[in-house]
Structure 1
Amino acid sequence: MTVLIITHSEDNECIARVSDAIARLGGRAFRFNTDAFPQRARLALASGPGAGRSTLRALDTEEGELDLGDVTAVWYRRVAYGRGLPPSMDPQLRGASVQEAKQTVEGMLAALRVPQVDPLAAVRFASNKQVQLDIAREVGLDTPRTLTTNDEGAARAFAATCPDGVVAKMLSSFAVYRDGEEHVVFTNSLGAEDLADMRGLSLCPMTFQEKIPKARELRVTVVGERVFSASIDSQAAPGAEVDWRRQGVELIDRWRKDTLPPDVEIGVLRLMDQLGLNYGALDILRTPDGRHVFLEVNPSGEFFWLERTPGLPISEALAEVLLGKAPRRGAWSAFLHAPATQHR
């Protein structure tokens, strides 16, 4: 059993953790750093009688060569196409190279008729925050009232309906770099002065949500049919009250094991069913009166710190799903039952 891991060379310790778990269970993990492609990795996709084998060879690691016909599952973790290309490369040629690298790898993934965590189509669909919130409500989860807009008037009118205040966030994760320093865009609470001057909104839409009182913030990681929950008291950490990630490093050892009420856990699994995901990292708030409010799910969300503290066995669970030793969600059926492409 061979698991192909799609990632990049700067990914964190979770790759080694899952790879080790796969090895303990009798499988092989092959790491494909997409930033090494095309310069430091060789990919040959053969199609048709006599065309030869389809192979992947890593030049930047000791992985060696992989016969793609031996792949039994894929873990789609991260991509960074073309990051290793020479800085001196002509921008137009660089853009073309990155696009061709992306199309080539995605073609390989589409041609591999094996279980994937998760299929690229499912990841892209599930990454849409508006879709997540709509489906979460449909399956019975509590969600905050939300407005995404670039209209100042609409934003102010929405804020006026939120008695506990309003927060602003972006639909995508990114950072702004000034003088070489990274400034991550976090969720922010808006005051009267912010709502009075929203001229920049016409240049970039934002997402506004009613502010939810917090007793604990939960990180819920779903792997197949298993649900792992951890929580933190972000309100006890100065600077983390609105977004715990602002003090993420300082809080890394304060996470504790937690559990969801049975009805909420059922709703979470139904959400994953509808999104077609076997893996997801969910952010959920627990209010002082015991409500559980779903915020979002990241199809490729981080989990490594939860294995350190409080010690959740997420890597082991991922390895079991990838190797078929634990139940998998049925989202793969459409991919597995499509006409197979021979790789030999």
Structure 2
Amino acid sequence: MDQGTLDRARSGDADAFRTLTAPHERELLLHCYRMLGSLTDAEDLLQDTMLAAWRGLPAFEGRSSVRTWLYRIATNRCLNALRAGRRIPPEPVAPFAVPPPTRRGEVTWLQPYADSLLEGLPEHTPGPDARYETQEAVQLAFITALQRMPPRQAATLILRDVLGYPLRDVAAMLDTTETAVKGTLQRARAAAPAASFPASRRSQPDRPANRAGRPELRRAEDEVSRRFAKAFTAGDVDGVVALLTDDAWLRMPPAPHEYHGRDAITAFLRASMSHAAGRGLTLHPTRANAQPAFTASLSGEPAGIIVLTVAGDRMTAITRFHGVRF
């Protein structure tokens, strides 16, 4: 940290403040997204964080890095926002008869996170206790699991197991004790077992081999995605269902309707594809949440984002986000 830049920022130099904070904005946006599950809300909270940092800079004593100080502000701003209550989006009304869902999901505010936002993240080596890599900790299963936890549990898990901050730093950020952090972390880990995160690696020694295997995983994902897009745009319900595991899920935030298993998903797809027939459904490949994805359009109009969760040569989940675009 350049003391001269810090002094100028404290004296009200906006350019100096930007020099201090700009390198951290992209990772802070991701942090807020993990906490909130909504990119729209994360963008708002990032701006709130920067405003709070600007106002609080004269009191910053430099006992921690600027990065750690900003994470403390962002974490507590997110916790304050969650205490005040989430912004629950209105439930969309389908333009066709919707089959009865398997269940009504709780995390209707979930939004996708474009992989383009992961590019250019600063290189920070997580602490030795970090359990997840960046891409693992942005997958939809992980983000959804975080949304189901009490907010302080989620914050503790992120700061400790994703970012790798030492116990003492996490305790300072959350204004609590190391003993309390240990207890909260234990409950968070129990609430989020490894099975919740299909791609998670629970031990450091495995990481090099996993990295080496990523090209093969990516090729498998690309092949499944290609076959999905071909079947989906052709209205081939059987072709889509053939790519699913027996216990696959179909979700459609902000609609709460969720369908579990091939039979339930088949019923929904038949109704949905019948409505879309002849209306020029197109898919354009992209990536979101470190997973294969598509931007959809219907009759030339944006029709949401579809994110696929792939395991081997099958899909374990299809998540179609309505009302969002990249």
Instruction: Specify if TM > 0.5.
Output: no
Q: TM-score w.r.t. structure 2 length?
A: 0.26
- Give the structure with the larger strand fraction: 1
- Give the structure with the larger helix fraction: 2
Q: TM-score w.r.t. structure 1 length?
A: 0.25
